[in-house]
Amino acid sequence: MKSGFVAIIGRPNVGKSTLTNALMNFKISAVSPKPQTTRQRIVGIANGPDYQMLFLDTPGVLTPRYELQRLMAKEIEAALADADVVVLVVEPEFGTDAESLLQGLRVRVPETKTVVAINKIDTVPKPELLPVIKSFSEKGFAAIVPVSALKRDGIDDLRAAILAKLPEGMPYYPQDQLTTQPERFFVAELIREALFACYGEEIPYSTIVEIDEFKEREGRKDFVRAVIYVERDSQKAIVIGSKGKALRQLGSRAREQIEAFLERPVYLELWVKVKAGWRQDGTFIRDRFRSQGNGEL
């Protein structure tokens, strides 16, 4: 099993978004829950039988903008450091070589974990590609793959090149849930994320979220009922707060995130229940995970 973070970088308009869409099978729009292991936002997931690629939202705009440029370059370099694999997207403009294509980037690209995708090959005759490929091949990149994101040409080769550089490891998100119930899974993750945002250290780690009901309703808001399990009565009191104020705040934050994620309005109902010692109850936890997932296992 292989899993890891993939950053896609390149100058504006080279086809980064088109290429990312061609590679992934779950798009995470607007917001995304993120494993604690990275500072970056995940925009999408490519899930295969023996791999999971998490695509990072790398600030892709690499045009010079005076002082802003330096700050942005720093941010991009941080994202590149977090990534297990970097995909550098370039266009095979006539007469350009690796040197000038790289200069336009203004950030240091970590060559050994970088796959170069020469995109838009549908726009140039083959012979013009060869010198571009050759000039990159002298630079120590992990691989150089000609593709057309638009025509879905070369995507399998690119995926294989990324996979070759992806580290061994367990998937960050449970795969079966992503394939069967991705929305339920992410809704539970977003409620968890809101728990981390709204309460101190103790509460989030003492809770497990279960999506009890998730109904799409014709002409009305989607209905989501979630149960937040805590271990003790005292924790339940904290989660609910005085006159229910804390729970209302949690609910409105979670609802905003869920609506941004689903791109439609939802009615969110939150319940808080005490389940003493749930953390020691393997069956209880597995059942909750099976129903929709709760972050890391």
The phi and psi torsions of 192 (rounded to 5 degrees) equal: -60, -45
Instruction: Return all residues near 205 (Cβ < 8 A) that are at least 6 apart.
Output: none
- Residue 14: contacted member of Mg ion, ligand GDP, none (CB under 5 to 8 Å, by partner type): ligand GDP
Give the Cβ contact number of residue 240 at 10 Å.
18
17 vs 135, which CB is nearer to Mg ion?
Answer: 17
The region of 15-23, 48-56, 78-86, 161-169 touching Mg ion under the rule CB under 5 A is 15-23
Question: Cα(191)–Cα(54) distance, rounded to whole angstroms?
Answer: 21
Question: Cα(178)–Cα(47) distance, rounded to whole angstroms?
Answer: 8
Residue 24 binds to ligand GDP (criterion: CB under 6 A)? no
Single out the residue of 17, 38, 69, 291 in contact with Mg ion (rule: CB under 5 A): 17
- Residue 8: contacted member of Mg ion, ligand GDP, none (CB under 5 to 8 Å, by partner type): none
Q: Give strand pairing partners of 210.
A: 227
118 vs 240, which CB is nearer to ligand GDP?
Answer: 118
Q: Give strand pairing partners of 56.
A: 7, 42
Interface pattern 46-85 for ligand GDP (x via CB under 6 A): --------------x-------------------------
Q: Given its phi and psi angles, is residue 263 left (phi above 0), alpha (psi -120 to 50 degrees) or beta?
A: left
Residue 2 binds to ligand GDP (criterion: CB under 6 A)? no
Single out the residue of 2, 3, 16, 189 in contact with ligand GDP (rule: CB under 6 A): 16
The region of 16-24, 176-184, 213-221, 241-249 touching Mg ion under the rule CB under 5 A is 16-24
Give the Cβ contact number of residue 226 at 10 Å.
25
Report in angstroms how near the CB of residue 15 gets to ligand GDP at its nearest. Answer: 3
Question: Cα(157)–Cα(144) distance, rounded to whole angstroms?
Answer: 10
Residue 150 binds to ligand GDP (criterion: CB under 6 A)? yes
Residues in 82-121 that interact with ligand GDP by CB under 6 A: 119-120
40 vs 294, which CB is nearer to ligand GDP?
Answer: 40
- Chain residues binding ligand GDP by CB under 6 A are 10, 12-18, 60, 119-120, 122-123, 148-150
- Chain residues binding Mg ion by CB under 5 A are 17
